């Protein structure tokens, strides 16, 4: 079942949709927001479970390089959101004041959450997870240090895309009760989506 879900994610990505860029997924922040019990877009538990299983299977596949792994995780995240993507509730969320993006990760919080994940993940999968997270943070840091953006908004969106991918990837692997207790602010600093150029 898990393999089929992963395969489905890969097929979905191959057949269309927005092209993913490794380590970047601004919609990862929506996943974190929708995991809370008071979520404006409730996601059924079985879909969360399928996403979690898919992420675990991907991380446990030692044959993948870190970039391919990141792309597959982004596909799995897109797959989780896909049924609600066009819903009015989602569009309202994107256009409203409650939509927020992660502008800066809290390193200590990330370490704590990774520590919690490690309790239920095999050593090999945990190593893969750390590699993906480190690669995302490294690429973001390199970009932020060496680039000039057209606007502050463009910079905010670029950095948030990496942060949101990291947050959603870690979130996928936490136990359901922990997942539901988290907000974006537990991962770091946030800003309204409109500051990152995201609107409905």
Partner 1 sequence: MNRREFLLSSACACLATATARIDPLFAEDAPAPARLYRCGTPPPTPSAKIQANRVINALRAHRMNFRGKTVVPIRFHIIHDRGKGKLPDRQIKDQVALLNTVYTPTGLEFKTIDVDYIQNSVWFRHEYGAPSEVRMKTALGKDTERCLNIYTCEPGGGLLGYATFPWWLKDDPQLDGVVLHHASFPNSPTPWEQQPWPFDLGMTAVHEIGHWCGLYHTFQAGCEAPGDDIEDTAFEAGPAAGCPIDQPSSCPGETRSNPVENYMDYSDDACMKHFTPMQLQRVRDMVGYYRFKLNPQTARSSQLEQIRESIE
Kindly state the smallest distance separating residue 16's Cβ from partner 1, in Å: 8
Q: Which is nearer to partner 1, 158 or 180 (CB)?
A: 158
> What are the Cα distances from residue 200, in Å, to 2, 24, 32, 85, 162?
33, 20, 18, 11, 21
Strand 188-192 versus strand 100-105 pairing type: antiparallel
Q: Is 119 in the site for partner 1 (CB under 8 A)?
A: no
Q: Is 14 in the site for partner 1 (CB under 8 A)?
A: yes
Contact pattern for partner 1 over residues 67 through 106, marking x by CB under 8 A: xx--x-----------------------------------
Q: Which is nearer to partner 1, 14 or 38 (CB)?
A: 14
Q: Which is nearer to partner 1, 36 or 57 (CB)?
A: 57
Q: Are 73 and 125 in contact (CB under 8 A)?
A: no
Number of residues that bind partner 1 (CB under 8 A): 42
Q: Is 143 in the site for partner 1 (CB under 8 A)?
A: yes
From candidates 33, 135, 164, 166, binder to partner 1 by CB under 8 A: 135
Q: Are 43 and 35 in contact (CB under 8 A)?
A: yes
Distant-in-sequence, close-in-space partners of 82: CB < 8 Å, separation ≥ 6 = 12
3-class SS string, 68-96: HHHHHHHHHHHHHHHHHCCCHHHHHHHHC
Q: Is 53 in the site for partner 1 (CB under 8 A)?
A: no
């Amino acid at each position: 079942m898990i393999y089929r879900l992963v395969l489905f994610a890969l097929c979905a990505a191959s057949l269309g949709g927005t092209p993913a860029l490794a380590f970047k997924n601004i919609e990862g922040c929506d996943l974190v927001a929708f995991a809370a019990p008071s979520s404006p877009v409730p996601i059924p538990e079985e879909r969360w479970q399928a996403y979690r299983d898919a992420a675990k299977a991907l991380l446990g596949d030692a044959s993948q390089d870190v970039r391919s792994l990141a792309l597959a995780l982004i596909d799995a995240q897109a797959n989780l959101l896909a049924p609600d993507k066009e819903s009015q509730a989602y569009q309202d969320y994107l256009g409203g004041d409650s939509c927020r993006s992660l502008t800066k990760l809290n390193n200590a919080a990330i370490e704590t959450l990774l520590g919690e994940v490690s309790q239920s993940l095999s050593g090999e999968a945990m190593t893969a997870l750390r590699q993906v997270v480190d690669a995302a943070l490294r690429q973001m840091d390199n970009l932020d240090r060496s680039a000039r953006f057209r606007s502050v908004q463009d910079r905010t969106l670029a950095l948030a895309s990496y942060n949101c991918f990291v947050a959603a990837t870690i979130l996928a692997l936490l136990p359901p009760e922990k997942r539901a207790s988290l907000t974006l602010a537990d991962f770091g600093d946030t800003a309204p989506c409109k500051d990152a150029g995201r609107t409905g």
